[in-house]
Amino acid sequence: MTAMTSLTGTLAQGQLTLTKDQLALAEVTLDFAEEHLAPHAVAWDRDKHFPVDVLRKAAALGLGGVYVREEHGGSGLGRTDGTLVFEALATGCPSIAGYLSIHNMVAWMIDRYGDENQRARWLPGLCAAETLGSYCLTEPGAGSDAAALRTRAERDGDHYVLTGVKQFISGAGTSQVYVVMARTGGEGPGGVSAFVVERDDAGLSFGADERKMGWNAQPTRQVLLDGVRIPADRRLGAEGEGFRIAMNGLNGGRLGIAACSLGGAQSALHRSIAHLADREAFGARLLDAQALRFRLADMATELSAARALVRQAADALDRSDPRAPELCAMAKRFATDTGYSVADRALQLHGGYGYLSEYGIEKIVRDLRVHQILEGTNEIMRVIVARGLTEAVR
């Protein structure tokens, strides 16, 4: 059995009814990751290179608008399909897979909440990755408490004027399209609206590229809005709907990041098996040591459990199940914690080699660490789950 066949079979776990088309999608995406991402991932991380040309190659396979309806240039796929795509991509590079997950969240939000003119204006470019997208919710003083954001959008005739700062924005400076959450009304979530800002809009600028522990193959910068004047037709949905739009976008985004954690960790596990098969100690292969085999078994079991939860949440989101937000939070928390833990144990199994950058394991560990923070910290995921459990007894 080849490594690629083994990975395709692994991605099929957690879903008993994957179709032939879904299995083919996983295989094609794994082939892409193996050819276009994995060979360059360490160098991109070292050089802090954002491979826009490779993103466009991914888009040529339909991965720039995974959830966008076909009539608007997308692939029209569901959330289960998306978890297959992003897990497969992350086997090659979690950083690039993570950015593509965010880009697809932006495209979905415009497709879902935009009008026909907005969809015609932005979706063709986003689906082709000729235009890149960024999601702007977090602020320097409003991370987990997203409803407390301070960025303002003041109505001025047929325009809005946006002022504020967004923090930790993936793709910032390179992306051409920014979905920005800004306050048009009073305090709390009901006062937030959503807007599309373009990179060339006057008054929009960017902070320095952040120096990060991981995710170095994509830029992360502040987005600075200094009186950015945009036409009123750049608003997505009605005034006051922005927080709901943002949260609905995050339900899918959390599944994407969860899947990226699975892919990165699965790659680390496969590399560990190969490493232990090649290494000997005390006259025997390390792979034949029962203690190490038990570690591998635990890692595989935990990933399979996380994958099943991610697929369950994806199915719930596709069916508009009322429990979908809670299940997405569960899946994001469990899969990102599990993915990081598995990758960290894979580094340990590599011994000193795992600590060397050229082997790529320490990069996976660094990349997966941030997944426990972004798209809502795992502490906030626990808040969401606990709220669902206790609503009946309030």
Residue 391's pLDDT is what?
Answer: 81
Residue 13's pLDDT is what?
Answer: 59
Among the listed residues 256, 239, 105, 254, the one whose alpha carbon sits nearest the alpha carbon of residue 179: 105
Beta-bridge partners for 353: none
Q: Do 116 and 123 meet the contact criterion of CB atoms below 8 Å apart?
A: no
Beta-bridge partners for 231: 159
Residue 16's pLDDT is what?
Answer: 56
Q: Do 246 and 137 meet the contact criterion of CB atoms below 8 Å apart?
A: yes
Q: Helix %, strand %, coil % for the chain, to 5? A: 60, 15, 25
Residue 15's pLDDT is what?
Answer: 52
- How far apart are the C-alpha atoms of 120 and 138, rounded to whole Å? 27
- How far apart are the C-alpha atoms of 365 and 348, rounded to whole Å? 11
Q: Tokens for 292?
A: 């190490």
Which phi and psi angles does 64 have, rounded to 5°?
-90, -20
The b-or-e profile of 265-302 (16+ CB within 10 A means b, else e) is bbbbbbbbbebbeeeeeeeeebbeeeebeebbeebbeb
Residue 1's pLDDT is what?
Answer: 40
Report pTM.
Answer: 0.94
Residue 162's pLDDT is what?
Answer: 98
- How far apart are the C-alpha atoms of 202 and 346, rounded to whole Å? 48
pLDDT in tens, 376-387: 999 999 999 999
Q: Which residues of the chain have pLDDT under 50?
A: 1-2
Beta-bridge partners for 152: 163, 183
**Active-site position among 87, 210, 375, 379:** 375
Is 375 part of the annotated catalytic residue set?
yes
